[in-house]
Amino acid sequence: MAKISYQFDYDKKPGRSDNGRLRRLIIFCALTVLVVAGFFFFRPRPTSTSETENPSASDKTSTAMPSSVTQQTPSMPVTQSVPVEAADLIQKLEKQTMAAQQSRDYVEVRKKCLQILSTGKVPAGSETWDRVVKMLGEANIKILMSDLPFPEKKEVYTVKRNDALQRIARDFNTTVGVIQASNGMSPDNYIIRIGQTLRIYRGDWRIVVSKSDRRLCLYDGNELFKCYFIGIGRQNRTPVGSFSITSKIKNPDWYSPEGVIPFGSKDNVLGTRWLRLQPTGDTDKALTGYGIHGTWKADSIGKELSNGCVRMFNAEVEELFSIVPYRTPVVIKE
């Protein structure tokens, strides 16, 4: 019969049990390191401060913005939100505004938007302020550029002998383009007849440019009409002060230091419109050659890249160009 032998732990050779304990200790340490590493790797991570604070002027980037053309909206300085005690009121008014917008009651949209802004509870540049101002601007353009009746600002004018659109526009502080649009006339139609009635918007236009906010805001009297995003001059080249629009040119040539660069050239930086700024009041009269113009480089809006002029998206400078008449005052501030 075969002899069967047994071997127990106490039969092992000296040192073998110590090696087993060492192996178990090594395995335990390795598992511990893996668990700790996994905890730190997969734990939820809070948003870093650098991702939420305002970018410097040179680091400003752009995000998408609805428009009639493909455009980008620069990131703007973040301000405080609407105070809690006013939030319910603002939310209620916003709902009423959006309901009016859906029904295309643009006069009501304008009324509600101005009511929200007049509360003084919506900080300029806040998310709510941006939404309200966007709706306000869209409603105002609809009213201005159509035959919608608006007794507060639009007057019914009867054409008289020797009248011309240019003279009527000058008398009402508006432009021929606005008169044509608000009366269903084509842009190339300058013919008016004696006895013809025209709806004409009497404007009290002024422009305020904020370099720090990268915004150009158009006012009708003391009421905000519409705001546009802009680009400004690098190295603080955009001057501050008071100005007046003294020249308006469609499809402008650029008189650069290297010579005249015609409209349509890839080297022409002026875009589709040019509005010349002339210093007024106490502003240094030597500040000439500045203006508001379009740009072919949409990604320059919101940044400091120009030689000192105020840049706008082409579609938006065309809109502004059609609204403001000669001698419209412009204030540029820090």
Give alpha helix (H) positions in 158-296.
Answer: 165-171, 176-182
Distance CA 273, CA 319 (A): 10
**Cβ(124)–Cβ(133) under 8 Å?**
no
| Of 250, 45, 228, nearest in space to 136 by CA | 228
The one catalytic residue among 113, 217, 227, 293: 293
Place of tokens 């609805």: 66
What number of other Cβ atoms are within 10 A of residue 15's Cβ? 7
Complete edge-to-edge strand list for the sheet that includes strand 310-311: 223-229, 215-220, 205-210, 329-333, 241-250, 273-279, 291-293, 310-311
**Cβ(190)–Cβ(198) under 8 Å?**
no
At 283 the three-state DSSP class reads: coil
Give alpha helix (H) positions in the chain.
Answer: 16-42, 84-102, 106-118, 127-144, 165-171, 176-182, 314-323
Q: What's the chain's Rg over C-alpha atoms?
A: 33
Distance CA 276, CA 293 (A): 9
| Of 170, 321, 319, nearest in space to 248 by CA | 321
Distances, alpha carbon 319 to alpha carbons 41, 185, 218, 230, 264, in Å: 52, 17, 11, 14, 20
Residues in the chain: 334
At 77 the three-state DSSP class reads: coil
At 243 the three-state DSSP class reads: strand
Told to judge if 309 belongs to the known catalytic residues of this protein, a careful annotator would answer yes
Residue 173, amino acid: N
Told to judge if 293 belongs to the known catalytic residues of this protein, a careful annotator would answer yes
Distance CA 29, CA 18 (A): 17
Query: Catalytic residue positions?
Result: 293, 309
